[in-house]
Every structure is written in structure tokens, then in C-alpha cells.
Structure 1
């Protein structure tokens, strides 16, 4: 894979955005309380072993599904297609790539969902039909172009921003994102041989939506972090104080990344999953012929744009936690 990637401007964008995400946790109620009381989400539904949560400006009926499991990690990531016809086109591309695909009909408040996995084993669900969030008297917004009332509590997370996965084979996954899903690589970290070690892919005009980082353990299917956006940097500073008072483990930040220029705070929720509270400002990728920005090992050795040096656990912690490298 070349370090000077360009995106074909004639390629149709058939994915609109990243939709809801499933998160596994061994301590369901503690994780639920973290997201509701500390992060500011709202519980909107329950079933036998899971809790559905909503960020205050998500137009869809739920944002995160917490699922009781023995170990932490990421479940399905749902992708909303740009149209019903886009679902058909993506289905054809997935099938042509020889990727197994099945249809699920039982996903809460989504229509037919096409299930498939990336080359590393992370599960995705492609959908079009969706039930929109309907506010009630307790969270009805004054502005009708807003999903729910401004929460104004806890970290006050506005929406899901991106998912960062760990992968055993980043080049293979990068080809899948580009050739099958039609994403574009906006930035990447490259090794000395020019192959990608970490990739940031966009499916719309946001600077990035799906991120994959090489898993130092060689295992597959793990999560690095799930990220949520706030309106301002100041809200991230407030989130740090909120997490401090709540006894939440603050791993690192607030700092500013050099890659993608994201202002960030990383914390661990009670189940062990890393959560990023972030703000990328007004950075959008508007150029249809954007050329991938590549960062070398020497450039990355300089650390963050500013702030403290990257903490060691940022490179070693992922979920589910593994005791030793694969093989």
C-alpha cells in the first residue's frame, strides 16, 4: 500500500456515517451508571442482557448498546447506508469480495441489517431503515432541529465520533475499507517499509470515522477505544473534573494529537473499555481529491502535538485484555 494514497472522486459514497455501536462489559450496571451519570447519556431501552443509551443529539433512537459479557470489547459497529440503493451496491461489493454476509431482522429499532466482518474479525452491520429518536416531556428540545434537550450534565457527550480498533493486519484491513466500503484514508502512520501501521478512514466529510491500529499482541478483533464528541474543548476540561470526582480512571489527557489535531481525554469505563472524549474542532475533509497524510516513525516519536508524553498503556491496553502475544 503506497504512502501517497489518493481517493477516487468519482467513487460514490455509499456509507452515510457510523451508526450505533455495541460495547461488551463484564459489569453491566456499573458501565451503565458511568455512561448515564458521568458521561451524560440517557438510558432508553433494556432487554435481557443489555442496556441501550442515547447521546442527546443523535437523531437515531440509540447510540450505544452495552451488552453483558465475561470480557470487555467491541460488538457490532453499525453503518448507515446513504440510501436503499446504496445497500444493494454495497451488498454486491461485499459478495464480490467473497465476504460472508447474512441478514439480521431483530436489531432494536433498525430494519434489515446486513452483517459481515472485516478481515480482522470485527463485526459490522449495514442498514438503511432506522427509527428516529422521539423526545418526551422530560427531554423535549426548544429547538426542533435538535434530537433532544441539551443535557448539560456530566461530560455532556453530544454524539458518537469514531471507533478505533486494534488489528493484526493493518494493510489488509486498509484495502477492505478502501475497496469494499469505499472509505478514504485521510491519515496514516507508516513503517520504514512504507506499509501502514495505523490508518484513519473517513466515510463522509468528517476527518475520520474508522481507525485501525496495529495490535502489538498479534491478536484479532480487539478494541482500542470508542470515542464521543463534545461541542467544545472546555467541555473536555470539565469532563476531566467530573471523572476525577467520580473516581474514574483517567489514562491520559487532556492533550492535543498531532494526527487529526484532535483535543482529547482518555478514560477507562468500569468494564475496562477505553473511552475517548474528543473535540476535533471544525476540521472537515472537503477536498474531493484529498491526499493521504503519512506520518513516519521518526515524526511519531515526537509524541503529541502538545501535552505530556504518550502514556505506555495507550500502546498496550486493549479489550478484551490478553495475557500474552498471539502464537
Structure 2
């Protein structure tokens, strides 16, 4: 009986699980074609426009509870401006600020943006702009978007792929070990899966800040550049909705990069496309794997395993490893 009650084998762990970060809250991406990008996210992805201010448009999935989860801002080139996490409480925010100070990370306070209160802004080791905040505005749907089911954020839009919520973000970084340590030691994220080659080099890492299998992924930037975006992902309700999204993109003249298919790592069913501004976008199924084990052991994938391709053997398309935004000339 005693043997049947033992816990999982021991592994190297940083600390007790930290749940100061609640979830990935929003992402601001840059686009040189704001009007066309807005049309893509509203009519193809199915997001709802919440507000416009200056050169920015704020959008959300139909079951995202906050004011917005995506901010599109006009710029000369595509890329990422910043991403944000919401903390689980005001004391949790203060604990993360203390962690920033303890690790010598410079930060500044902002008055917040549309839809949320004061935020702490800082850079991760690769130069990506990150925000942490707690005070937020819950979305209040107008009468024509009020749901019959009071436990969802708004009525089902029946438009485009009907994206339900922001799912995860994938960044590119020059120094993966530094980014991993930052996410673990400063923000308290759990490393759920990673790629480590035979020479010991870390190529990609996946993090969870709650019970989802991942909220943030960071992959090695083969160009050697800093602070670039790989893709942002919204979840639809089912695998069949990902398939339908492919048809919608085809009909809408949206370039499909790869998929629909299934990743081996994290098992996400995916479709990758390029929105009109040039940023990579992913549709995925909302039935994300959950990490319920408090002593979850990081899954490590080898170089040989990665070479086998996706879950059903399809090789990963070359552009998936080489393209990011803003584009760089790495020839």
C-alpha cells in the first residue's frame, strides 16, 4: 500500500509552485496594414472590437472576460509591442515586484491602458516588453451582444472562426536559458516541456502559470535577433473549428503557412496563417491539456525526437523555424 501512494520521482525544482500570475492577459502586436489586420481579426478570426484610441484598436474573443486581449497598433513593420500578465491579487503583484527588485530587473509604473489599471512594465532578458497588473475592467456587453447564458462573457458571434479566447503566445529569443531562468525565477512560471539537443543546448521552452499546459512558449531565434514575435494564438471550440478556419482563410485569401495538423509537443491541434500585416497567427482547439499534478515533471524532447516532425510525422515547414516579426535579413 505504501508503494502505491508514493509521489512522482524527484526532479530538480526551483521552489514551491507559484501562482502569483493568473494568466496571459493581452498582447499588443504591430501592423503596417491596420485596416486590413482589423478586418482579418474581426471577420476571419471572429474577434469583437471593443474600442479604438489613436492608432490602436482593441479586440477580444467572445468569452474573454476582460476589456481586450489583443491590441493592434499601426506601425511601419509587424512585430510585438508588449505582452501582459494579470496577477492573482494585488499582494501577488507586489510579490512579483519584489522578485524583480531581488533580481536587479529595472521596471517602471504606467497608469495603465484602456481596460486595466496601473501596470508595472519591464523587459525580459531578450528585450520583449512585459507588463504585470491586477486591476482590470470586466467586459460589459451591449444589449445586442448580451448572452442568454449569464456565465459567458458575451453572445456567440457566429462570425468567422468564432475564436473563443486568447490561448497563448510564442516568442523568439536569442538566449533561451536566460529567458527560461527569468520566467521561472522572477515570474514563477512552471516549465512544462522543453527541447534540449544532444550538445545540451536549449532550443525551446513552454511555460504554464496556471493549470493549462502552457501560456507562453519561447523558441530560439535562428537569426540571432532580439525581441521578435513568433506567433499569437486564439482558441476555437473544437478541432473541427480549426478545420473550418482553414476553409474560411482559403475563401478569404489568407496565406496558410502549415496545418491543420497536431503538434507532438503539447499536442495542440493547429493552423498557422499570416495576417495581412505579416504577423504569424495560430488557430488552436480550446480543449487544452491541463496540468493538474503539483509535482509535474518537465517533459524534455531530444534533437532526434524533434526531427521526427509533428505528431503524425509531417515535417515542420522550414519557414516555421526561420520567420518571425519584425522580419530580419539573415542571409
Please give the range of the TM-score, normalised by the shorter of the 2 chains. over 0.9
Q: Does residue 1:118 correspond to 2:156, yes or no?
A: no
Which residue does the alignment assign to 1:23?
Answer: 29
Q: Which runs of 5+ in 2 are unaligned?
A: 1-9
State the Cα distance separating 1:105 from its structure 2 match.
Answer: 0.2
Q: Within 5 Å, which residues of 2 pair with 1:3-152?
A: 6-7=12-13, 10-152=16-158
Q: Distance in 2 between matches of 1:99 and 1:261?
A: 34
Change (3 A) 1:232 1:274: same
Q: Does residue 1:181 correspond to 2:187, yes or no?
A: yes
Judge which range, 267-276 or 4-13, deviates more.
Answer: 4-13
Q: Distance in 2 between matches of 1:172 and 1:9?
A: 18
State the Cα distance separating 1:280 from its structure 2 match.
Answer: 5.8
Q: Secondary structure at the match of 1:172?
A: helix
State the Cα distance separating 1:306 from its structure 2 match.
Answer: 1.4
TM-score by length of 2: 0.95
- Assess if the C-alpha contact under 8 Å between 2:168 and 2:234 holds in 1: yes
- Assess if the C-alpha contact under 8 Å between 1:6 and 1:289 holds in 2: no
| Runs of 4 or more consecutive aligned structure 1 residues displaced over 4 Å after TM superposition | 4-9
Q: Distance in 2 between matches of 1:39 and 1:227?
A: 10
State the Cα distance separating 1:11 from its structure 2 match.
Answer: 3.5
- Assess if the C-alpha contact under 8 Å between 2:212 and 2:288 holds in 1: no
Q: Distance in 2 between matches of 1:108 and 1:66?
A: 13
Q: Secondary structure at the match of 1:260?
A: coil
Residue-pair matches, total: 322
- Assess if the C-alpha contact under 8 Å between 1:7 and 1:288 holds in 2: no
Q: Within 5 Å, which residues of 2 pair with 1:228-307?
A: 228-279=234-285, 281-306=287-312
Which residue does the alignment assign to 1:169?
Answer: 175
Question: For each residue in 1:88-146, what CA deviation from the matched residue of structure 2 results, as whole angstroms up to 9, or x when unmatched?
Answer: 10000001111111000041121110001100000111000000000111211011110
Q: Does residue 1:214 correspond to 2:216, yes or no?
A: no
Instruction: Name which of 284, 302, 313 aligns with 2:319.
Output: 313
Instruction: Name which of 170, 193, 197 aligns with 1:191.
Output: 197
State the Cα distance separating 1:13 from its structure 2 match.
Answer: 1.2
State the Cα distance separating 1:152 from its structure 2 match.
Answer: 2.1
Q: Distance in 2 between matches of 1:48 and 1:275?
A: 24
Change (3 A) 1:285 1:39: same
TM-score by length of 1: 0.96
Q: Secondary structure at the match of 1:259?
A: coil
Judge which range, 165-174 or 148-157, deviates more.
Answer: 148-157
Q: Which runs of 5+ in 1 are unaligned?
A: none
State the Cα distance separating 1:307 from its structure 2 match.
Answer: 5.9
